Amino acid sequence: MKHLCPYCATKFDAFEALKEHALSVHRGEAVPLPEGMIRLTVNGQAYQIQVQPEWTLNYLIHDKMGFTSPKMFCDRGACGSCTVIMDGRPVLSCMSLAIECDGKKIETAEGIADAGHPLIESYVKHHCMQCGYCTPGFVTTAKALLDRNPNPTEEEIVEALGGNLCRCGTYPQHPKAIREAAGRLRRKGGE
Amino acid sequence: MGNVKIRPYEHLKKEGLYNLDADIPTITYNHIGKRGIRRIDGYAKASGKAVYTRDIQIPGMLYAKVMRSPYAHARILKMDTKKAEALPGVRAILRYDDPEIKGRTLNGSVGGPDRMASQFSGFALKPERVILAEKACFEGQAVGAVVAADSEEIAIEALRLIEVDWEQLPFILDQEEALRPDAPVLLPGAESNKLADFREFVEKGDVEKGFKEADKIIEFKARRHAHLWAGAEMPSVVVRWTEDRLELWNHSQHPYPGKLLLSEQLDIPMNKITMYSPYQGCSFGERCNPADFSINGMNVLAVLTAKKAERPLKLLFDRSEKFYGESGDMMVSYFKVGAKRDGTITAVDMKNIFAVFQCTPGIEHFLDNTRILNLRCKALTADVSKAPAWWDRCEQLPNTFCLTLVFDHVAAELGLDPTLVALKNDGCEGHGMDWLAKYKREHGFPERDSLKECIDAGKKAIAWDKKWHPPGKNTLPNGKMHGIAFTWDHEWDDVRGTGSAAVWVENDGTVSIVAQQADIGVNPWTAYCQIVADELGVPVEDVTLKYLDSDHIFSLMSPDGSCNLCSNGFIVRKAAQKARALLLDLALNSFEGLDVESLDIKDRFVFEKANPENRKSIKDIAVLAMPMHNAVGTWTQPPIVGWAWHNHGIWGDALETGRPRLCRQAHFMEVEVDTETGVVEVTKVVNVNDVGKAISPETIEGQMYGGTYMGVGRALTEEMVWDPQTGVLLNRNLLDYKYATIKDCVAADTIIVETQLGHGPYGTVGVGEDIATMIPTLLGPAVFNALGIWIDDFPITPSKVLKALGKA
Last residue of a domain, one of B647, B682, B712: B647
Rounded CA gap, B607 and B591, in Å? Answer: 9
Per-10-residue mean pLDDT of chain B, 808 residues long, equals: 70 86 90 96 97 97 98 98 98 98 82 58 70 96 97 97 98 98 95 88 96 98 97 97 97 88 92 94 86 88 98 97 95 98 98 94 94 97 93 94 98 98 96 95 96 98 98 98 98 85 96 93 94 97 84 82 85 97 95 95 96 97 92 86 91 68 97 98 98 96 97 98 98 96 95 96 93 98 98 98 95
Residues of chain B contacting residue A69, judged by C-beta atoms under 8 Å apart: 47-49
Residues from chain A contacting residue B519 (CB–CB below 8 Å): 131
> Residue B280 is part of a domain; what is its CATH number?
3.90.1170.50
Q: Say how many C-beta atoms besides its own lie within 10 A of residue B235's C-beta.
A: 23
B487 and B538 both lie in a single domain: no
Cα(A185)–Cα(A171) distance, integer angstroms: 22
Residues B634 and B665 in one domain: no
| DSSP symbol at B589 | G
Domain shared by B502 and B478, yes or no: no
**pLDDT at residue number B125:** 61
- Hey, what amino acid is at B563? C
| Spatial CA neighbour of B292 closest among B142, B124, B137 | B124
Q: Would B219 be classed as within a structural domain?
A: no
- The span from the CA of B746 to the CA of B702, in Å, is 14
CATH fold of A37-190 reads Ubiquitin-like (UB roll) (3.10.20)
Q: Which residues of B touch A168 (CB under 8 A)?
A: 232, 282, 521, 702, 706
Do B160 and B274 have their domain in common?
Answer: yes
Instruction: Please give the C-alpha separations between residue A55 and each of A37, A38, A60, A96, B91, in angstroms, as whole numbers.
Output: 12, 12, 7, 9, 21
Q: What is the pTM of this model?
A: 0.96
Cα gap B135→A160, rounded to integer Å: 47
Together in a domain, B563 and B630? yes
Q: Is the peptide bond before A5 cis (omega within 30 degrees of 0)?
A: no
Nearest Cα to B232, choosing from B634, B801, B706, B796?
B706
pLDDT tens for each residue of B175-225: 999 999 999 999 999 999 999 887 889 999 999 999 999 999 999 999 999
Residues B433 and B377 in one domain: yes
Nearest CA in chain A to B749: A172
Decide if B734 and A74 are in contact by the 8 Å CB cutoff.
yes
> What is the reported pLDDT for B561?
60
Q: Which residues of B touch A73 (CB under 8 A)?
A: 232-234, 281, 734
Same domain, B359 and B435: yes
Please report which helix (H) or strand (E) contains residue B221, including its range.
strand B216-224
Sequence ranges of the domains in chain A: 1-32, 37-190
CA-CA distances (angstroms) from residue B619 to B502, B511, B535?
A: 19, 11, 17
For residue B237, give the amino acid letter. Answer: V
**Buried-exposed string B426-443: b where 16+ CB fall within 10 A, e elsewhere:** bbbbbbeeeebeebbeee
| Cβ neighbours around B34 below 10 Å, total | 16
CB neighbourhood size of A30 (10 A): 7
Structural domain includes residue B183: no
Residues in chain A within 8 Å Cβ distance of B153: 54
User: Residue B317's closest chain A neighbor by CA?
Assistant: A75
Domain extent, residue B527, equals 8-30+496-647
Q: Are B484 and B787 in contact (CB under 8 A)?
A: no
For residue B564, report the phi and psi dihedrals to the nearest 5 degrees: -135, -80
HEC readout, B235-257: CEEEEEEECCEEEEEECCCCHHH
Select from B647, B667, B693 the last residue of a domain.
Answer: B647
Better-scored residue on pLDDT, A188 or B243: B243
Extended strands (E) in B470-557: 481-490, 498-505, 511-516, 543-548
On whether both B293 and B347 belong to a single domain, the answer is no
Query: What's the total number of domains in chain B?
Result: 3
Residue B189, sorted as left (phi over 0), alpha (psi -120 to 50) or beta, turns out to be left
> Do residue B663 and residue B783 come from a single domain?
yes
For residue B774, the domain's CATH number is 3.30.365.10
Min Cα–Cα distance to chain B from A85, Å: 14
Distance CA B751, CA B764 (A): 15
> CB-based contact (8 Å) between A150 and chain B?
no
Does A116 contact chain B (CB < 8 Å)? no
Strand partners, B94: B146
Tell me: do B642 and B684 sit in the same domain: no
Residues B25 and B158 in one domain: no
Q: Is A115's Cβ below 8 Å from some Cβ in B? A: no
- List residues bridging with B248 in a β-sheet: B239, B275
Strands B236-242 and A37-42: unpaired
The verdict on residue B231 lying in a domain is no
CA B532 to CA B577: how far, in whole Å?
A: 8
SS3 for A165? Answer: coil
Q: Taking CA atoms, what residue in A is nearest to B51?
A: A68
| Number of CB pairs, chain A paired with chain B, less than 8 A apart | 178
> Does residue B263 belong to any structural domain of this protein?
yes
Nearest chain B residue to A55 by CA: give it: B153
Q: What are phi and psi of B352, to 5 degrees?
A: -115, 125
- Same domain, yes or no, for B442 and B526? no
Confidence at residue A40, expressed as pLDDT on a 0 to 100 scale = 97
Nearest CA-CA distance, residue B32 and chain A, Å: 17
Q: How far is A21 from chain B (nearest CA, A)?
A: 40
Q: Would you state the pLDDT for residue B232?
A: 97
Measure Cα distances from B257 to A55, B263, B521, B675 in Å: 38, 10, 20, 52
Contact B233 A69 (CB under 8 A): no
Q: Find, in chain B, the residue whose alpha carbon is nearest to that of A77.
A: B735
Instruction: Go through chain B and tell me how many residues it has.
Output: 808
Q: Which of B605, B624, B647 is the last residue of a domain?
A: B647
Q: Which of B230, B232, B698 sits opposite A134 (nearest CB)?
A: B232
First to last CA, chain A: 66
Contacts of B545 (CB under 8 A, 6+ apart): B40, B512, B513, B515, B517, B525, B528, B529
Q: Looking at chain A, which residue has its C-alpha nearest residue B283? A: A131
From chain B residues 25-44, the ones with a CB under 8 A of any chain A CB are: 36, 38-39, 41-44
What is the per-residue pLDDT across B231-276, written as a single tens digit (0 to 9) for each? 999 999 999 999 999 999 999 988 888 898 899 889 999 999 999 9
φ, ψ dihedrals at A177, nearest 5°: -65, -40
CA distances from B1 to B4, B5, B6, B10 (A): 7, 11, 13, 18
Task: Quote the CA–CA distance of A141 and A85 in Å, as a whole number.
Answer: 8
The letter for the amino acid at B478 is: N
**Which SS3 state, helix, strand or coil, does residue B705 take?**
helix
The pair phi, psi for residue B688, each rounded to 5°, is -120, 115
The angle subtended at Cα B614 by Cα B609 and Cα B615, nearest 5°, is 90
Q: Which CATH architecture has domain A1-32?
A: 2-Layer Sandwich (3.30)
How far apart are alpha carbons B795 and B334 in whole angstroms?
18
Question: Is B721 an 8 Å CB contact of chain A?
Answer: no
To the nearest whole Å, the CA of B676 is away from the closest chain A CA by 26
Report the 10 Å Cβ neighbour count for B176. Answer: 15
Q: How deeply is A29 buried, as exposed, middle or buried, from its count of CB atoms within 10 A (0-12, 13-18, 19+)?
A: exposed
Measured in whole angstroms, the distance separating CA B131 from the mean position of its chain's CA atoms is 24
Res B1: pLDDT: 46
Measured CA to CA, the distance from residue B614 to residue B592 in angstroms comes to 11
- Highest-confidence segment of A2-6, A33-37, B143-147, B289-293: B143-147
Q: B42–A123: do the CB atoms touch at under 8 Å?
A: yes
* Amino acid in the structure at residue B304: L
**Angstrom distance (rounded) from CA B7 to CA A59:** 58
